Amino acid sequence: MINSSSSNVPPPPPLQQQPLVVNNTSTNTTNNNNNTFINNFISNINGNELNSIKSKLKKPTNQHVVDFKERYEQALRNEQDEKSKLFNRKFIYCNNNNSWIRIENNLNNLNNNENIIKNIYNEMIEFPKELKIITLNTWFANILQDQRYTEQLNVFKNLNVDIICLQEVIPLYVIDFITKNDFIKNNYIISDIDGNSIDPYGVMILIKKNLPILDIKINKLTTRMGRCLINCTFAKNIPNLDIYLKYLNSINNNDINSNIEELEKLIPTYAIIGTVHLESLSSKERRHVQLNEIYSIYNQYPNTEIKMLMGDFNFDSSSIENDQLLTGNYKDYKDIWYYLYPNIEGKTFLYQNNRKGQRLDRILLNSKNYIPKEIKIIGNEKLILNEQDQLKLKQSFSLDYTCMSDHFGLYSEIYNIE
């Protein structure tokens, strides 16, 4: 977030989530299907329940842009997410029907899902010897969002990395930019398609489709600000399709943590990579708790070759808090920037009047055989704006310039020394 001292006018709050609009290709067919669905649904409700439901219904308004069936199915998905602690956050773009779909673990939940998984399996490679990663706090402020988000996606395309970790993502960014971007649609499995897991803002991860991905999971943390960890687990390789299908079917909807040992027997986890946006600057004790919780989550996979944690840590690398981090639970982790450039500050939050700057963003690596090869700051160039946007920036927000975010991002490469 932007430093409060940088402007007399605070940035507006993040935009509210836009309603999900369903473009029906055939209104008559859809209405018939919906009538059948509603009749079947109502037939299973007794009279008292039906009267109770009717009494709570409100008169439809223009906001009711999604038909009944879509709303009901979305509610079921929300309930499933809560029940399963938000695991199985894997969405892929399907060219056959030109839409994003969720990769279901239960093959009975989605028509042709087995074919989708077969296609994913056929594209998978062994976990790469060199891995390229980006982390970026995208900045939720309503300040030239179109220009900034477009520039962010251009940077992602140019760098073409294996994993993109994002913080402070708002639903508008997902719905209007990420899910509509051809480069993302053609190359990545993503953790959200409609803002369901990030409203009003949150963390998100994008994974190249050819990586041997096992699962993407959101873990709730102790927080007053809706903070959570999102992590992805990978295999070194997938032995065969049958084992992969068995693995996916073994993930149950009750508590994924209850069967990790059984899953590890099927396909061992080779890497766990996650991103987090820790509690804000004045919440030192809560950040300490959150980091301990993340450490415990990662320790559920004791035999992994790679553990990586990255994102907006919300404390500077010169603080006592940072010293405690690297001498405590995370003493076996390399802070990649400091590992490669111990004498260069590498500030990632150096915005407008915050002249001193802070290194709030970092990438941590714990591995025996993978070591850091490169890390660099990205997104530190001022956006080139037309006269109208420049005037708006100055008059509405008292800013002389903006980059693609109020944080600089980090690009890093690690490689296997074996």
Taken as a whole, the chain contains a residue count of 418
pLDDT of residue 14: 45
Q: What is the pTM (predicted TM-score) of this model?
A: 0.79
Nearest-angstrom CA–CA distance, 400 and 134? 27
10-16 contacts, C-beta under 8 A, 24 or more apart: 11/141, 11/142, 11/143, 11/397, 12/141, 12/142, 12/143, 13/142, 13/200, 14/140, 14/141, 14/142, 14/170, 14/200, 14/201, 15/142, 15/145, 15/170, 15/171, 15/172, 16/200
Helices (H), 84-123: 113-123
Written as one letter, the residue type at 404 is M
CB-CB contact of 303 with 269 (8 Å): yes
Write down the CATH number for the domain with range 121-416: 3.60.10.10
pLDDT of residue 356: 74
pLDDT of residue 18: 42
Q: In DSSP terms, which residues pair with 207 in a beta bridge?
A: 163, 189
Give the other-Cβ count within 10 Å of 291's Cβ: 22
What are the residue ranges of CATH 3.60.10.10 in the chain?
Answer: 121-416
pLDDT digits (tens, 9 = 90+) for 56-83: 444 444 444 445 555 555 555 555 555 4
Q: Which residues of the chain have pLDDT under 70?
A: 1-87, 104-113, 252-258, 351-355
Written as one letter, the residue type at 196 is N
pLDDT digits (tens, 9 = 90+) for 5-27: 444 444 444 444 343 333 444 44
3-state secondary structure (DSSP) of residue 177: helix
